[in-house]
């Protein structure tokens, strides 16, 4: 199906946070890059300005009235700003210092007082001092014609500034800009998550996947102390949770019911991408069937990266291998090993086969599967992911039906549905999906395990297609 938009109830807020945590290094690097960039560019473009200032008091000649002085000071603030910036005063200043001075003069009133602050700003501290000092000496030559009844007295003498009065805009705001950069990168990560067309939660799976959802297997963390990195999560293990084991048994029961109703015996278990949990799922389906005293054969059809041998401990005494069968070195019966502990019949690979494409003969594979169908109740085939190799398509030709294992937020929904269609067209039937490694949702009020009951069979059935 095509994506029509983003639905809030199809978003996993836990997934968003985990994406942010997984990519926190990108957020930190973005903030650091913005901070360093602002610092470098700010220093490159920064031109320091120095300000020399003096405080003046305004008095009205012949009057001791404070209100009169305040009123006069207010009027004089604007006029003196024009006076000190006038070309006439500038000419006298340059004549006084004997050259051109770069800078500007401003005059401001301290509110509710008759005090004026005269400031001279220049890129050079000495020129700032010369500018204000000369202005104080010559301002009367211009202002005397304007305010003949007022005078200015110096309260604070100007001095040569020792530090710049201005700062770089970028450097002053680099912390804020770095924070904004980090927020922007976090926003981009969230947008990539939202627009990544993957299965985010069971509800989105029921709407997006074209097929029956047989079950939702919750994410299970390996709890066994000192467990090996590649140790498998089998439903018969005493260390797995009840939710995990029961979700697999329920999924197996639905798959078995579907296969029995259609008179199917050979099940292909695959996925789109690696690490979606297809091999562990195939092993657990076989174990659940064996618990019901079914004669079930589990074939590790992934000749490139066989996993079943390791899943069941890696110390099995195998009578043969799938590679030997396909190379006609063993017959069908002699290659199968019965695991007395689990009750499963096994046709595994200890290691990857050399040149697997050359030994996958559809005709021989068909004969092999036909033989095992006659002697077994069920045959489970674990094959390569469809995006990794074309081996899966060869297995589809000899299997009765198929199941796709879909991991949370892993593979593109369009690729999943295309593969489901391919299984349907090649096998003649597609059983459905198993949602694997789904985490509990934080704001839905339900766990992935509990949530799954609402989604079983809610997808559109392939069987309903004409």
CA–CA dist 320, 335 (Å, integer): 4
| 28, 74: one domain | no
| 20, 100: one domain | no
User: What digits encode the pLDDT tens for the residues 194-240?
Assistant: 999 999 999 889 999 999 999 999 999 876 555 555 568 999 998 89
Residue 424 belongs to a domain: yes
CATH number of domain containing 132: 3.30.70.1130
| 250, 225: one domain | yes
Its pTM stands at 0.75
DSSP-assigned letters across all residues of 6-54: --GGG--HHHHHHHHHHTHHHHHHHHHHHHHHHHHHHHHH----EEEEE
Residue 414 belongs to a domain: yes
| 57, 73: one domain | yes
| 353, 237: one domain | yes
Cβ atoms of 431 and 255 within 8 Å: the answer is: yes
User: Quick one: pLDDT at residue 4?
Assistant: 61
Residue 422 belongs to a domain: yes
| 367, 220: one domain | yes
Nearest to 286 by CA among 305, 300, 306: 300
CATH number of domain containing 383: 3.40.50.300
| 318, 278: one domain | yes
User: Quick one: pLDDT at residue 273?
Assistant: 94
User: Quick one: pLDDT at residue 432?
Assistant: 96
| 41, 54: one domain | no
Tell me the mean pLDDT in the region 56-71: 66
Is residue 460 very low, low, confident or very high in pLDDT (cuts 50, 70, 90)?
A: very low
Q: For the chain, what is the domain count?
A: 3
Tell me the mean pLDDT in the region 268-297: 96
User: Quick one: pLDDT at residue 131?
Assistant: 87
Residue 343: which domain range? 199-460
β-pairing, 115-122 with 50-60?
A: antiparallel
User: Quick one: pLDDT at residue 150?
Assistant: 65
Is the predicted pLDDT of residue 241 greater than 70, yes or no?
Answer: yes
Cβ atoms of 403 and 431 within 8 Å: the answer is: yes
User: What digits encode the pLDDT tens for the residues 372-405?
Assistant: 999 999 999 999 999 988 899 999 999 999 999 9
Q: Which of 237-246, 312-321, 420-429 bottoms out in mean pLDDT, i.e. has the lowest? A: 312-321
User: Quick one: pLDDT at residue 284?
Assistant: 97
Residue 3 belongs to a domain: no
Say which residue, 73 or 248, is predicted with more confidence: 248
Across the chain, mean pLDDT equals 86
Is residue 416 very low, low, confident or very high in pLDDT (cuts 50, 70, 90)?
A: very high
| 17, 60: one domain | no
Tell me the mean pLDDT in the region 97-124: 83
Nearest to 366 by CA among 395, 331, 336: 395
User: Quick one: pLDDT at residue 463?
Assistant: 42
Residue 445 belongs to a domain: yes
User: Quick one: pLDDT at residue 27?
Assistant: 97
| 324, 358: one domain | yes
Is the predicted pLDDT of residue 453 greater than 50, yes or no?
Answer: no
Residue 265 belongs to a domain: yes
| 115, 236: one domain | no
CA–CA dist 325, 339 (Å, integer): 19
- What are the backbone dihedrals phi and psi of residue 414, each rounded to the nearest 5 degrees, phi first? -65, -40
| 340, 424: one domain | yes
DSSP-assigned letters across all residues of 119-187: EEEESSHHHHHHHHHHHHHHHHHHHTTT-TTEEEEEEE------S-S---HHHHTHHHHHHHHHHHHHH
Tell me the mean pLDDT in the region 272-292: 96
CA–CA dist 349, 303 (Å, integer): 7
Residue 163 belongs to a domain: no
Residue 1 belongs to a domain: no
């Amino acid at each position: 199906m095509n994506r029509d938009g983003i639905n809030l109830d199809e978003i996993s807020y836990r997934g968003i946070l985990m994406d942010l945590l997984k990519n926190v290094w990108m957020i930190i690097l973005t903030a650091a890059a913005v901070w360093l960039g602002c610092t470098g560019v700010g220093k490159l473009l920064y031109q320091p300005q120095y300000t020399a200032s003096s405080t003046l008091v305004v008095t009205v000649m012949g009057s001791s009235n404070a209100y009169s002085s305040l009123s006069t000071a207010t009027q004089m603030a604007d006029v003196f700003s024009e006076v000190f910036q006038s070309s006439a005063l500038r000419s006298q200043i340059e004549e006084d210092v004997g050259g051109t001075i770069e800078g500007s003069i401003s005059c401001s009133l301290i509110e509710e007082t008759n005090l004026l602050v005269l400031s001279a700003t220049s890129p050079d501290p000495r020129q700032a001092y010369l500018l204000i000092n000369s202005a104080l000496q010559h301002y009367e030559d211009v202002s005397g014609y304007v305010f003949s009844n007022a005078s200015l007295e110096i309260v604070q003498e100007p001095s040569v500034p020792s530090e710049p009065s201005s700062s770089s805009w970028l450097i002053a705001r680099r912390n804020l800009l770095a924070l904004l950069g980090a927020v922007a990168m976090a926003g981009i990560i969230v947008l990539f998550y939202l627009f990544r067309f993957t299965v985010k939660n069971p509800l989105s799976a029921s709407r997006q996947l074209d097929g029956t959802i047989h079950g939702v297997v919750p994410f299970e963390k390996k709890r066994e102390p000192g467990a090996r990195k590649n140790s498998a999560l089998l439903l018969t293990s005493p260390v797995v949770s009840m939710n995990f084991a029961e979700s697999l048994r329920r999924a197996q029961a639905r798959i078995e019911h579907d296969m029995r109703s259609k008179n199917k015996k050979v099940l292909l278990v695959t996925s789109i991408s690696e690490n979606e949990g297809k091999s562990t799922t195939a092993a657990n389906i076989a174990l659940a069937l064996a618990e019901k005293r079914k004669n079930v054969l589990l074939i590790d059809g992934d000749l490139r990266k066989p996993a079943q041998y390791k899943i069941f401990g890696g110390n099995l005494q195998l009578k043969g291998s799938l590679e030997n069968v396909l190379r006609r070195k063993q017959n069908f019966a002699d290659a199968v090993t019965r695991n007395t502990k689990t009750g499963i019949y096994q046709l595994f690979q200890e290691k990857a086969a050399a040149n697997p494409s050359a030994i996958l003969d559809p005709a021989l594979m068909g004969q092999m599967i036909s033989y095992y169908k006659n002697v077994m109740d069920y045959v489970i085939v674990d094959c390569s992911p469809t995006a990794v190799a074309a081996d899966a398509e060869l297995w589809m030709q000899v299997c009765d039906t198929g199941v796709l294992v879909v991991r949370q937020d892993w593979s593109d929904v369009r690729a999943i549905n295309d593969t489901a269609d391919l299984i349907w067209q090649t096998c003649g039937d597609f059983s459905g999906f198993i949602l694997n490694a789904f985490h509990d949702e934080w704001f839905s009020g339900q766990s992935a395990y509990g949530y799954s009951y609402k989604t079983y069979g809610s997808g559109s059935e392939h069987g309903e297609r004409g």
